[in-house]
Structure 1
Amino acid sequence: MIEATCTDMPYNQKIKALKVDGGITVNSLFLQILSDILGIDVIKSPNAEASSWGAAMVAAIGAQIISFNEIRKYHAEDGIIQKPNLSNNQRELMIRQWKKGISRARGWLQDD
């Protein structure tokens, strides 16, 4: 998904960091693996439910309960940052092995 997003971005821009939230972010091993595979910083929101909070804020703006500028004072700073630990060669090897595994798994079950 990251590769596809980068391909669609103008001027060959690269994604430098990925901000994440949600229940899975309590798993620091997952965040480290994600950072290693993507080769970019993964920034964990201090609010694990930031998506829900954001949806509530959009609804509040739409209902004219709060303004966009008022929301800024509630914006939390970034939380923990996981930095990639793998070299480019290690990362490329892992990705090749993953793609090879996916290729082998295709057709695992035959339609009757």
Structure 2
Amino acid sequence: MLGEVVRNRPEIALDDFLPIFLSSSLVLVFGALFVGIYTLVKMGYLKKFYMTIAYLFWILQAYCMYFMATRLQVGDFVGKVLFITMIAYLTLPHLYYYLNSKAEEEYEN
């Protein structure tokens, strides 16, 4: 009655496994460094100069995500989702601190 579902996924080449594993791990590491430094600068614990280093970590994170996606040969839809994710990862901390500062101003006045 129901036919067999066949999924056609490309196999990961043995030579690509370590680069994919390392790049996906570096996505997490660089993302944590970006958010950590960004937060410390916004809280005033670090000088504004370090914000450029935070953005450098975001660029490295985006490159590692791109490298991982090309090695995994993701489809168009997944590629667009990963792109939107990286843009959101850049903009959401800005939105959070903007809303937080507006809420503090509203509360103080």
TM-score after normalising by structure 1: 0.24
Higher helix share: 2
Higher strand share: 1
TM-score after normalising by structure 2: 0.24
